[in-house]
A = this chain, B = another copy of it.
């Protein structure tokens, strides 16, 4: 539960790193909206150069968040929900795990507190 890789062998690390960049998220938005687009087209809708977009797409591709397909002389990219979905599940599971742990710790703390009160009432001289 600490690391985690989805079915495609893409680490959560890569996906989170990819998602951390605002431009990249914007890119994903555009792609989700258009369904399919080239780096050149996408760059027109962003305040960055085509090359920057290409780099970002490469990162997203490595993370499994998009796929690139060649059509003639252009490269069409499309969004790929699987990786995102997998990461979402991973996070949800992690959150649940934390909840369980916190609950357990809380219980232990309360138990320890009761123990201490017991010690107060029964000093060291007992059997």
- Interface residues, chain A, with chain B CB atoms under 8 Å away: 2, 13, 16-17, 19-20, 22, 25, 29, 32-33, 35-36, 78-79, 81, 84-85, 87-89, 91-92, 94-99, 101-102, 104-105, 109
Known interface pairs A94-B84, A105-B35. Does A29 touch B2 (Cβ–Cβ under 8 Å)? yes
**Distance in Å: Cβ of A90 to nearest Cβ of chain B:** 8
Cβ contact within 8 Å between A101 and B19: no
Q: Beyond the given A81-B96, A91-B91, please list 19 additional residue pairs across the A-B interface where CB-CB is below 8 A.
A: A2-B25, A13-B22, A16-B16, A16-B19, A33-B101, A35-B101, A35-B102, A35-B105, A35-B109, A79-B102, A81-B95, A81-B99, A84-B95, A85-B91, A87-B91, A88-B88, A88-B91, A88-B92, A88-B95
